[in-house]
Every structure is written in structure tokens, then in C-alpha cells.
Structure 1
Amino acid sequence: MLAIISAVLFFISFLINAADISTNDTFSSTNIMLLGLMVLALHVAGIGSGWSVGSRRR
């Protein structure tokens, strides 16, 4: 799920940069790209991957 969110943020960042849309400093393409990298790092770290069912063997 976090990887999909990251891909969407990267796509929005690309559109802002490619269309040369002027935005305020908060929603610049660099800031959105950094948010995408943060979400991608969380995904790689295993956060947000859901509950894992641990099986115990006797």
C-alpha cells in the first residue's frame, strides 16, 4: 500500500515538474518527491505491511 502511495506522489511530482506548474513552496515538486521517498523508505522498512501471522510449531 505504501509503495502505491509513493508511486502516486512521484507521479504528481513529475507532473508538476514537467508541466512547469508554479506552486507555492509547500507543494513544490521537490517537496512532493521527498515525501514519496519517505513513504518508500517506510515501505522498505516494513512499516504498513500489515499484520503477519506468526506460526508456532511444537
Structure 2
Amino acid sequence: MLGIVAAVLFFFAFLINAADISTNDVFTSTNVMLIGLTLLALHVAGVGSGWSTRRR
């Protein structure tokens, strides 16, 4: 799930950069890309994967 959200954020960052949209300082294409990279790293680390181990 986090991987899909990261892909969507990468797409928004690409659109902001490609269309040369002027945004405020918080919502720049670089910041959106960094949030996407953070979510992608969490996805690769296994956070939010939905799998849980049960101990007996």
C-alpha cells in the first residue's frame, strides 16, 4: 500500500516539475519526491505490508 502511495506522490512531483507550476515553499516537487522516497523506504522495510507474525 505504501508503495502505491509513493508512486502517486512521484507522479505528482513529476507533474509539478514538468508543468513548471509555482507552488509555495512546502509543496515543491522536491519535497513531494522526498515524501515519496520515505514511503517507498518504509514499504521496502516491511512497514504497512499487512503481514503479521503470530507467536504461540
Q: TM-score, normalised by structure 1?
A: 0.88
> Percent of aligned positions with the same letter in both sequences?
75
Q: Kindly indicate whether residue 30 of structure 2 is the aligned counterpart of residue 25 of structure 1.
A: no
SS of residue matched to 1:36: helix
Whole-angstrom CA distance in 1 between matches of 2:53 and 2:42: 20
- Aligned ranges 1:1-58 → 2 under 5 Å: 1-52=1-52, 54=54
Displacement of 1:36: 0.1
Whole-angstrom CA distance in 1 between matches of 2:51 and 2:13: 31
The letter of the residue matching 1:35 is: I
Runs of 4+ in structure 1 displaced over 4 angstroms? none
Displacement of 1:2: 0.5
Displacement of 1:52: 3.0
Q: Which runs of 5+ in 2 are unaligned?
A: none
Q: TM-score, normalised by structure 2?
A: 0.91
Q: Which runs of 5+ in 1 are unaligned?
A: none
Displacement of 1:46: 0.2
Matched residue pairs, number?
56
